[in-house]
Amino acid sequence: MSVTIKNILITVSIAGAAAFWTGCGIAGGIAGNLATETGSEKVTPAEFKLAKTEGKIVIFIETPAWIKTPMDLRVTLTEAINAALVEKAKIKEERLFPYTDVLKTRMKLSDEKKDDPFEIALKLNAQYVLAVQITDFELSTFAEEDLFNGTMLAKSCLLDAKGNKIWPQDANEGWRETTVGFEDEKGTVRTAVERLSAATAYCVTRYFYNCKTERFRIAEEQKELDFYTW
């Protein structure tokens, strides 16, 4: 009888140990799966971490005279880029200038210098210039329905106050280009221009911080997929 009980106890002990290690294996497998990076956790790394720098940053928007716009794009785009840098790239607000400060500085310069971003940076004591050139802009409407079609093309680069290019870092790429747009969007001229400006600002600033890959592209972006791995 005692032998039988002993055998039972041994059997139970072995079974318990097996269950324990099997359970550890299952738990380990679950932990491993949880540790695996999901699609929502993938990150497109910053090309240049602007928040790691020090010194003020001036946003300089250039709009060719031949582009006709219903609003001053320099105002809306500067405001949108400043907001994106603060919210997404975690740039301290005191490092940036509102467009009114840029405009006042330009007005004090001579005609041959007022469109020179480095003269403006010097007067504002800024260490960096984020230069953005709007290369095309279109906005059309169906007045009876308040529907808008819009596109904005822009190119951008980051330079230090001496004119040295910092970003894009590819020596063969002078500017980073972006195209945004939408069709049949209900709203007003202001909301349409602000949406295009916000979309452009996002596409310009997303390279300055680690951006979640699933959010790297936005609906308004018209550019075809480039070299980024998805």
Q: What burial class does residue 197 get, using C-beta atoms within 10 Å of its C-beta: 0-12 exposed, 13-18 middle, 19+ buried? A: buried
Classify residue 83: in a domain, yes or no. yes
Fill in the DSSP letter of residue 70. S
CATH code, domain carrying 116: 3.40.50.10610
Of 170, 155, 164, 136, nearest to 204 by C-alpha is 155
How does pLDDT run across 10-40, given as a tens digit for each residue?
Answer: 343 444 444 433 343 433 443 444 445 565 7
Same domain? For 96 and 202 the reply is yes
pTM for this structure?
A: 0.79
Whether the pLDDT of residue 6 is over 80: the answer is: no
Mean pLDDT of 141-166: 91
Classify residue 227: in a domain, yes or no. no
Q: Tell me the HSE value of 105 on the side-chain side, using a 13 A CA sphere.
A: 22
Number of domains in the chain: 2
Same domain? For 95 and 143 the reply is yes
Classify residue 193: in a domain, yes or no. yes
Classify residue 82: in a domain, yes or no. yes
How far apart are alpha carbons 207 and 9 in whole angstroms? 65
Classify residue 230: in a domain, yes or no. no
176 lies in which domain range?
43-216
- Specify the pLDDT at position 26: 36
Classify residue 109: in a domain, yes or no. yes
How does pLDDT run across 49-67, given as a tens digit for each residue?
Answer: 999 999 999 999 999 989 9
